[in-house]
Amino acid sequence: MHTEKIYTEYKKFNAKKVFYILIFTIILGIIALGALLHGPSSIGFKNSFTALFKETGIASAIVWELRLPRIIMAILTGCGLSIAGTVFQAILKNPLASPYTLGIASGAGFGAVLAIIFGGSLYSEYLIAGSAFFFAMLSSLIILSIARLKDPSPETMILAGIAIMFLFSSLSSFFQYIGTMEQVQEIVFWFFGSLSKTGWKEISIVSVMIFVPIPFLIKSSWKLNLLATGDESAKALGVNTTKLRMQGMIFASLITSACICFTGVIGFVGLVSPHIGRMLVGSDHRFLIPTSALIGTILVLVADTFGRILWAPQVIPIGIVTSFIGVPFFFYLLIRRTRGYW
């Protein structure tokens, strides 16, 4: 009887987590529809809705070529950064681990700076994106190389990431100092983060690079749960902790690089979304990964929508708005929480 009671309580506990996932999915759908039907243009709610089913006219062009790509990229970016942040925090067992504290975003920023400063006649959005992606992945490979040479422990990887973050940040600042006014303006805009240059081609590229690693990460949920109990306990239960960390680092870095190479730096999402998800559904990664992804997606989509309509026709960069929205909400949850969640 006692075992049955425990099993019943366990099912109720998991049902509550599934309920949160369903609620966030519905909220995301409502916000996405609102973002699609509202914007700085004057086509109106009715025309925006009609344009969904009509392939000609100005309203249709605005909805299908401007708003819908932004919404989809916001969903992809929020989902990717949140999942990457969740994985980084799990494999490194550190609540401050994120794509930015590990230097991956700084590497991408340095790559973008190089492309802007030295692009010359080859200068293009794809050159910037390619260079940002290359240096983001290079940052993660440096971390992995140092970990393999020294010790594949969370401490080694975190310290290597912090060193890389300062290195690439310093190099980026140096090239900004020697760049022209136009180049510096472009660099600053890239570091603010923006979805304004998103198109269907970029969406297809990012979708592949984000969704290919996700099945592996979902499949590794139990191993990530065991890793939280400590390396010795996880090894005793058959988990190859070194291999899991290396694979997790590679896949999370790939997702991060894919997200930011076209959008620029969108901070805070990969750090705060996993924490909010952990407060709501606990540390079971079977539920934490999808919950964090939904929370991050909602945060990015709300931030982009506010950035488009609050100061229309000017568009506020999404990186600024995510901090304005996310930080107070995060502080509120920290103050309200009644138990440890890490």
In a domain? residue 37: yes
3-state helix, strand, coil in the chain (%, to 5): 80, 0, 20
Does the pLDDT at position 77 exceed 70?
yes
117 within domain boundaries: yes
Mean pLDDT of the chain: 85
Residue bearing the bigger pLDDT, 274 or 148: 274
Q: What is the pLDDT of residue 231?
A: 83
Residue-wise DSSP of 134-171: HHHHHHHHHHHHHHHHT--SHHHHHHHHHHHHHHHHHH
Q: Is residue 226 assigned to a domain? A: yes
SS3 86: helix
Q: Is the pLDDT of residue 108 over 80?
A: yes
Residue 190 lies in a domain: yes
Q: What percent of the chain has pLDDT over 70?
A: 88
Residue 302 tokens read as 């709300």
Residue 339 has pLDDT above 70, yes or no: no
Kindly report, residue by residue over 212-256, the tens digit of the pLDDT.
Answer: 999 999 999 999 999 888 888 888 888 898 889 889 988 999 999
| pTM (2 d.p.) | 0.89
**Res 306: pLDDT:** 86
CB 241 within 8 A of CB 188: no
**DSSP state at residue 279:** H
pLDDT surpassing 90 at residue 84:
yes
Q: Does residue 241 contact residue 151 with C-beta atoms inside 8 Å?
A: no
Assigned domain for 342 exists: no
Q: Categorize the per-residue pLDDT at 58 as very low, low, confident or very high, splitting at 50, 70 and 90.
A: confident
- Interval 175-226: pLDDT, tens: 999 888 888 988 888 888 888 878 899 999 999 989 899 999 999 999 999 9
What was the pLDDT predicted at 336?
66
Distance CA 324, CA 40 (A): 20
Residue 308 has a pLDDT of: 83
* DSSP element (H, E) containing 71: helix 68-92
DSSP string for 314-329? S---HHHHHHHHHHHH
Contacts of residue 88, defined as CB under 8 A and 6 or more positions apart, other chains included, come to 97, 98, 99, 102, 248, 249, 252, 270
> Residue 55's pLDDT is what?
65
Model confidence at 332: pLDDT above 80:
no
Nearest CA among 76, 18, 21, 72 for reference residue 212:
76
Among residues 76, 83, 68, the alpha carbon closest in space to that of 33 is found at 68
The pLDDT value given to residue 121: 62
Report whether pLDDT(341) > 60.
Answer: no
Structure tokens at 258: 């894919």
Query: Does pLDDT of 1 surpass 60?
Result: no
Phi and psi at residue 267, in whole multiples of 5°? -80, 170
Given this model, what pLDDT does residue 122 score? 67
**pLDDT band (50, 70, 90) for residue 46:** low
Query: 312 by DSSP, 3-state: which?
Result: coil
Q: Based on the structure, what is the number of domains in the chain?
A: 1
What CATH number is associated with residue 104? 1.10.3470.10
Neighbours of 26 (CB within 10 A): 10
Task: Look at residue 341 and tell me if it is in a domain.
Answer: no
Give the Cα separation of 70 and 61 in Å (integer): 13
Q: DSSP label at 179?
A: S
- pLDDT, mean of residues 5-17: 76
Alpha carbon distances (Å) from 335 to 46, 91, 273, 330: 42, 27, 16, 9
Dump the DSSP string for 194-233.
--TT--HHHHHHHHHHHHTTHHHHHHTHHHHHHHTT-HHH
The range of the structural domain enclosing residue 62 comes to 2-336
